[in-house]
Amino acid sequence: MSNLINVKSVNGIATISLSGKFDFNSQKEFRVAYTPLLQDVTIRTLQIDLANISYMDSSALGILMLLKERAVEAGKAISLCNPNQKIQQILDIANMGKLFKIE
């Protein structure tokens, strides 16, 4: 397993914390983590915590874009938080700021 995924829900806000390498191999594990959250009516907001990610590739961006689409369909707000400088650069080049609130 390349990723450690942690989910914490407080007051309708679910935080998915990722650590390690975030790439194509993370797809399945990540989907397994977020799918029940999208179906959970008590959750209004999804937060993806990127603080502990060491590396992120273009596939990971695609995975996040897909989640954004699904979150919109499910009527939930979504944001990315705590990217380090390197991750922020990657998000900037792809203009992810146009899709996500980045905190």
Partner 1 sequence: MNDQIVDTATMPTNIPLRILIVDDERINCTLLQAMLRKMGHESISASSGKEALVLLSEWRPDMVLLDVMMPDMNGYDTARAMRLVAEGQVPIVFLTGLNRPEDIIEGLHAGGDDYLHKPIHYELLQAKINTLHERLKLLSKLSLQNIQLEQYKDRIEEDRNIAVRFMKNLSALDRITDSAIKFHLSQAEDFGGDLIAAARSPNNCLHVLLSDSAGHGLASAFTIMPIVEPFYRMTAKGFEISAIAAEMNKRVRKFVKLPRYVAANIISLDLREQTLRVWNGGCPDTLVLDRVGNITHRFKSKHLPLGVINENDFDSTTENYIFRGNACSVFMCSDGVTELRADQDQDLDLGGMLLRAHQEKDCFNYIIKTLGEELRGQPARDDIALLMVDCAEDLNHQPLVGSPFSLSEDTLNAIDVSEPTIDRVTWKMSLVLTAPQLKTLDVVPFLMGITSSLEVKQDDSTIFLVLSELFNNALDHGVLKLDSTLKDHGGMQDYYEERDSRLQKLDNGQIEIELERLESHYGSWLKIKFRDSGEGFDFKAMNKSIKNEGQRYGRGIKLISSVCEQVEFQGNGSEVIAYLDLNG
Q: Does 85 bind partner 1 (CB under 8 A)?
A: no
CB-nearer residue toward partner 1: 27 or 82: 27
Among the listed ranges 1-9, 42-50, 77-85, 89-97, the one in contact with partner 1 (CB under 8 A) is 89-97
Q: What type of residue sits at position 80?
A: L
Give Cα separations from 99 to 11, 40, 71, 77 (angstroms): 24, 22, 12, 11
Q: Which one, of 71, 63, 68, lies nearest residue 22 by Cα?
A: 63
- The least distance separating partner 1 from the CB of residue 27, rounded to whole angstroms, comes to 7
Which residues are near partner 1 by CB under 8 A?
A: 24, 27, 55, 58-59, 61-63, 65-66, 69, 92-96, 98-99
